[in-house]
Amino acid sequence: MNEPEQHILTEYMEGNREVQEHIWNTERRRTRNRIWFIALAFLAADLLALGMANLLTGPALLASLLVPGLLLAIGFWALAHPLPAIITVTVLVLAIFGYQFYRYGWSSLLSGLLMKGLLAGLLIAGWKSAREAEAARRQIGT
């Protein structure tokens, strides 16, 4: 390979690496943000339910912060490992819905459909971003 061809190939590889690094940075932040929106949705739903039931007390508020706090921490973890983070969030959300079904029966499937739809949309978007981030990381080679 002569010198000009090697120079063009080197420029292409450096440009591709920059693009993949940009995709990696953007998509892992998007994954984190979607996990944080899921945490916010859980917090808002809990506060709304507690307010409607007139049960806004200190212990109830602390209990309502448990899942959003865990999701907040997972969101930080998503910056380094987006795919395992979104897998963890998906398992957590499914476990919560499974527990609700076990505890309250079939009526729990229909209650909160708007919330469940919002969470499903955020999880799907999070999975898409996490997969794109992982693909970019493989291209970079880190």
pLDDT tens digit sequence for 102-125? 998 988 888 888 999 999 999 999
Q: Give the pLDDT score at 10.
A: 65
Provide the residue type at 75 as one letter: G
Nearby residues of 93 by Cβ (< 8 Å), 6 or more positions away? 38, 119, 123
Q: Give the pLDDT score at 131.
A: 98
pLDDT above 90 coverage of the chain, percent: 73
Q: Read off the pLDDT of each residue in 11-28 and give the average, rounded to a whole number.
A: 84
- Dihedral sign of CA atoms 54, 58, 61, 67 in order: negative
Q: Please tell me the distance from the alpha carbon of residue 55 to that of residue 47, in angstroms, as a whole number.
A: 9
* Helix/strand/coil for 106: coil
Write out the two tokens for 121. Answer: 């949309």
Angle at 124 between CA 65 and CA 23, to 5 degrees: 100
Q: Please tell me the distance from the alpha carbon of residue 141 to that of residue 134, in angstroms, as a whole number.
A: 10
Q: Read off the pLDDT of each residue in 50-78 and give the average, rounded to a whole number.
A: 94
What's the pTM?
0.87
Model confidence at 2, pLDDT cuts 50, 70, 90, reads low
